Structure 1
Amino acid sequence: MKKNKEKGMLDFAGNYKYLTYIGCILSGISAVLVLIPFICIWKMAYEIIQVFPNISMVSDLSFYGWEAVIFSVVGIFVYFGALMCTHISAFRTARNMKNESLHYIVKLPIGYFEENGSGKIRRIINECSVQTETFLAHILPDITGAVVTPVAMIVLLMLFDWRLGIISLIPIVISIYFANKMMGKDLVESMKQYQNALDDMNNEAVEYVRGIPVVKTFGQTVFSFENFHDSIEHYKKWAVNYTIKLRIPMCNFTVSINSIFALLIPAGVLLIASAINPNKFISDFIFYIIFTPILTVVMNKIMFSSENFLLAKDATKRINSILSEEILKVAVKNKVPNNATIKFEHVDFSYKGSNNKALDNVSLEIKEGCKVALVGPSGGGKTTVASMIPRFYDVNSGKVTIGGVDIREISNEKLMSMISFVFQNTKLFKTSLFENIRFSKPDASREEVLAAAKAAQCEEIFEKFPDGINSIVGSKGIYLSGGEAQRISLARAILKNAPIILLDEATAFADPENEYKIQKAFEQLIKGKTVLMIAHRLSTIKDADEILVIDKGKIIEKGSHHELLNKKGIYNNMWLDYQTSICWKVKEVG
């Protein structure tokens, strides 16, 4: 299995990262340039104080004024150039992040998407790249300027009157202490929790919105809303606790950073009494009055920029979390199976992060053209068995073969062409019913699609809508029930005409009428195919060539329906329970 080396933010920029470096240098230069107008303003005040009250004797005011304007304009243009450089680099970084992630996820096992959810993956790829782009384009040059500014200011503060300079820096030092209380490892962990909470909310929001048509149309229970609500409550709890935790340090930081005047003014009153040249001291004091508010702005910018840096750093880690996932090993020899016989040989498998085996030394064989059913309690491993065949996941040990060839030695394209899927959670795209069916065979003719739809008992569905098979799913009231959606899915599988059919709870959401039609469609779908079915409705698998009972990742019984009933084991008990449940339903209807 291949893993990518973790990348830093600028690694995604390629050679464009040098524009980021240039942009940061220009931002630092701009930060120095925009300080010069404040010196010019001080010089103007100094000239006025020296000749006061004969202000008319001042001759250099216009010179200092134009000097301030020129340096301001030059500083703005230099900063504009800095932003141009960082924006170009940031856009390239975000584009490369998205491109690499999107190209990479198509190589991941399909099980990865089941584990993480489409909403979470979408947010990581889209919003994390945008977050990184914002940081590189705006925040990073601002941080550079914010760091250069205090260095230049400290030099200037000490240059005029070192006593006032030290007094001005005391609140800054105190504010740095309180800023550190809010930052460090705790802030890194908090930013991680913040992103996790947003991921969860986004994922649940996507699932909830997707479920709205089903909920509104069929009145099904809104479990997805409960999950969405829980994710909101989790975020709310985190946000409130985080706010309370930072309340005192943030108040202390704000008070200290804004208290320069509280020390500077009393100090000025005390020091002027002992000043040898009061006029010069007053002019120096005015410089500090003009200059020190910049320190407050700069320190606030540094603190909030640091938070954005941690967010961007965490966003990059999340992109890397996708790029570090193990991809499916590509078949080197690209062997082609001679037939559609499926065989599991001593297969072990555990899901990521689990200590328990989902499959434990499973061996089975589904001969070409045979129909095998998997039954057993929920969580027993039925769906996991089916997931191994198309390589939704790869086995931890043992092997799965088709036609005697290890599926890891079959190209992904060939393997997918050999398998058709009909799962309980049918996915229909917001396009026409015709295109939804043709999705399994894009080059199919209209006649082929219509024939597959007829075989899947879909004609009645088309008759419900004015545009028939051309009706767009999800628009203008075009919604399908669970059973109708399954018939569209069956039409896809019939059109594909693959030699292997995987059916996972294909009648789970069907009412009796739809179940009858789905069963009729099954007859067309499975003719001459190798079939693996998973079902809780035992009536649908009575005629299977072999039934395998799976529990806790192991096959504990196997045989035909009648053979298993005669064994008086687990399957027999399941059958009796199923018959009892049918009786309850009949009585309810009666």
Structure 2
Amino acid sequence: MNTSTCDPGLGRAGVFATETLPGRGIWTLMRPVRSRIHLAMGLAALGAIAALAAVGLLAVIIAQLLRPDPAPWPWAVLAVVLTGAGFYLRNKGFIVSHMAAFRLETILRAGLAEHMARVPLGYLLQTGTGTVTKVMQDDVKSLHAFVADTTPMIGRSVATPLATLILMLIIDWRLALLALGLLVVGAGCVILAMRGSTELQRRYDDERERIAGAVVEFVQAMPVVRTFDDGASSFGRYQSALDGFRDVLAKWLEVSAVSAKISILILGPLPTLLALTLGGLLLYTGGSLDFPTWAAALLLGTGMAESLMPLMWINHFIRKAGAGALRIQDLQAAPVLPVSLGRRLPRDASVSFEQVCFAYENRTDNALDDVSFHVPAGSITALVGPSGAGKTTVARLIPRFWDVTDGSVRVGDADVRDIRPEDLMRHVSFVFQDTFLFNDTISANIRMGRPEATDAEVEQAARAAQAHDFITALPQGYATKAGDRGVRLSGGQRQRITIARAILQNCPVVVLDEATAFADPENEAALIAALANLMQGRTVIIIAHRLSTIRDADQIVVLDQGRVAEHGRHGDLVAANGVYARLWRNYEQAQGWTLGRDDATRS
């Protein structure tokens, strides 16, 4: 009985280096441009104060006009100068904030791209490209908009009411306290009315994501829906998402309507104007207030009330940008693969698994349990087994998509953890079953295997991959764009482009997720010829789905439930009547099946 010594929680390989962040949230993320943001906020605040001072000078001008010997022109000129200065400072603040936003966007995207190049490839597979794309595109763009537009607004919205209050206290403290009291009461009412809005915001975001997923599912599944479904189940999920979104939106609008009514009734300029008019009238008729002071208080007080309105929107902007900032920081904190300080290179092209155990994150059971086998240099080894046996996991540990939990994976007698990533990529090439091409020329997609390759070398690799003929038949030959994810090419053509890329890269070790699994008969012959050229003279580890393609393999490793059940050559394994023999019988039975009337009626 084979007793495993693996423990998912043990082993240096199971630990990734994690990026530690000094703090969380939007302000921490803006640290690289914080001085520019402070400058932008300061300029916006000074611009607001200058404009406010110009308004205050109107009272002085009115007082001058009421004097027997009026001299309003110096004050009028000063008011014009202050108005111009306010406009200039405000505009300058927006320029500085936008430059800071572009700078921060560049820093974040470059940093995230660099960080993603250091995280395990397995992490990207588990997280999903959609999530990473959303963070690097949408969330970074949201933060850009916040820095560019909202930060100057914060400076202006904070400075204006404070400066207004100070001026009003200087002009007449009684009217100042009257205006302030009204605004405090209104702000308190709004805060009380908005209780629970944070939870509603969270529910709103959740429902938006749910409805987005339902829309994508409904549209993408349309061929299946129209063929097999009357639309009840798929449309029902879509309608359920719509209903949930509508309910949350209605509740949010109900809460927002209360706060909006309070804002209009109490925090708006008109109520403040009315209060200052009545209060000022009492003081004016009592002889304790002159008309110019009253006029100045009316102008400043209504302006103070109006300047508070943007603060309500700013809270929403901060919350929205803050959520995106947290997602950016989550991506920044993704674990990175430790890089060896030394530089150890593989001695040859052999591959060995030595008592390897591996457990996926957040799983308590092992995906691989005490797996050991050796692949001699220049040989072909096939990995076979039932679905979920661990074939893909074994293959992806060789180019270090993840680090093992226990044991070691070696290439040329060197532990892959002791080989620098760039050196490992020069020794191991991985050909995925799911191909990916960039929206670039065919030549550029092939040249990714070796950027410095000449056109002649690219063509030679394409010929070896049986791709040259269809490439030259394209409108612009090798200069033809492949389209987004290679959409302009068929599946077989995309696969041959990736094989050409691997041939050009010329790695001594090739890991293949069998490329012919979903090929049509016409493409299969070309793919088999291409793979034969790719495998020539190299160490090959191939995940086998069609057992007929690996009968002549030098070694077949049979995996079952994360363990090596048996290994050997085809004939020996069939004779052993074990797991492989059962798989082979099932495969032969499936290959011999033909569609006939008897088969159809029996089903």
User: Which residue number in structure 1 is paired with residue 230 of structure 2?
Assistant: none
CA contact (8 A) 2:19 2:332 kept: yes
Aligned equivalent of 1:249, options 250, 255, 258? 255
1:106 aligns with 2:112: no
Aligned residue runs from structure 1 range 426-445, under 5 A:
426-445=435-454
CA contact (8 A) 1:172 1:257 kept: no
1:311 aligns with 2:326: no
Residue aligned with 1:344, SS = strand
User: Which residue number in structure 2 is paired with residue 524 of structure 1?
Assistant: 533
- d(CA) in 1 for partners of 2:99, 2:18: 29
User: Which residue number in structure 1 is paired with residue 265 of structure 2?
Assistant: 259
Aligned-residue offset at 1:498: 2.0
User: Which residue number in structure 1 is paired with residue 13 of structure 2?
Assistant: none
Aligned-residue offset at 1:407: 0.8
Alpha-carbon distance change, 263 to 317 in structure 1, aligned in 2, over 3 angstroms: closer
- d(CA) in 2 for partners of 1:537, 1:139: 59
Q: Deviations over 1:67-105 (max 9, x none)?
A: 432322222233334344444444333322222222222
CA contact (8 A) 1:357 1:553 kept: yes
User: Which residue number in structure 2 is paired with residue 454 of structure 1?
Assistant: 463
1:41 aligns with 2:47: no
Equivalent AA in structure 1 for residue 344 of structure 2: K
- d(CA) in 2 for partners of 1:351, 1:79: 53
Residue aligned with 2:540, SS = strand
CA contact (8 A) 1:83 1:141 kept: yes
User: Which residue number in structure 2 is paired with residue 511 of structure 1?
Assistant: 520
CA contact (8 A) 1:422 1:502 kept: yes
User: Which residue number in structure 1 is paired with residue 150 of structure 2?
Assistant: 139
User: Which residue number in structure 2 is paired with residue 324 of structure 1?
Assistant: 333
Alpha-carbon distance change, 244 to 515 in structure 1, aligned in 2, over 3 angstroms: same
Q: Deviations over 1:381-440 (max 9, x none)?
A: 221111111112112222111121101111222211112222111122334434433332
Aligned-residue offset at 1:238: 7.6
User: Which residue number in structure 2 is paired with residue 70 of structure 1?
Assistant: 81
Equivalent AA in structure 2 for residue 22 of structure 1: L
Aligned residue runs from structure 1 range 73-472, under 5 A:
73-158=84-169, 164-177=175-188, 179-180=190-191, 187=198, 190=201, 194=205, 240=246, 242-260=248-266, 261-262=270-271, 265=274, 268-269=277-278, 272=281, 276-277=285-286, 280=289, 286-462=295-471, 464-472=473-481
- d(CA) in 1 for partners of 2:480, 2:174: 81
- d(CA) in 2 for partners of 1:233, 1:293: 47
Residue aligned with 1:259, SS = helix
Alpha-carbon distance change, 473 to 18 in structure 1, aligned in 2, over 3 angstroms: closer
1:4 aligns with 2:19: yes
Aligned residues: 568
Alpha-carbon distance change, 323 to 523 in structure 1, aligned in 2, over 3 angstroms: same
Share of identical aligned residues, percent?
29
Residue aligned with 1:31, SS = helix
Q: Which runs of 5+ in 2 are unaligned?
A: 1-15, 228-233
Q: Deviations over 1:38-81 (max 9, x none)?
A: 32334455677x78xxxxx5825545543432322222233334
User: Which residue number in structure 2 is paired with residue 473 of structure 1?
Assistant: 482
Aligned-residue offset at 1:231: 12
User: Which residue number in structure 2 is paired with residue 54 of structure 1?
Assistant: none
Equivalent AA in structure 1 for residue 123 of structure 2: Y
- d(CA) in 1 for partners of 2:194, 2:510: 56
Aligned-residue offset at 1:343: 1.2
Deviates more, 1:251-260 or 1:80-89: 80-89
When normalised by structure 1's length, the TM-score is 0.81
Equivalent AA in structure 2 for residue 251 of structure 1: A
- d(CA) in 2 for partners of 1:564, 1:186: 66
Q: Deviations over 1:237-283 (max 9, x none)?
A: 78645533432332222222222444763785588468653694776
User: Which residue number in structure 1 is paired with residue 44 of structure 2?
Assistant: 27
Q: RMSD of the TM alignment (CA)?
A: 4.2
Residue aligned with 2:489, SS = coil
- d(CA) in 1 for partners of 2:255, 2:183: 14
Q: Deviations over 1:483-522 (max 9, x none)?
A: 2222222222233332211111311331022222222222
Q: Which runs of 5+ in 1 are unaligned?
A: 52-56, 222-227
Residue aligned with 1:71, SS = helix
CA contact (8 A) 1:188 1:310 kept: no
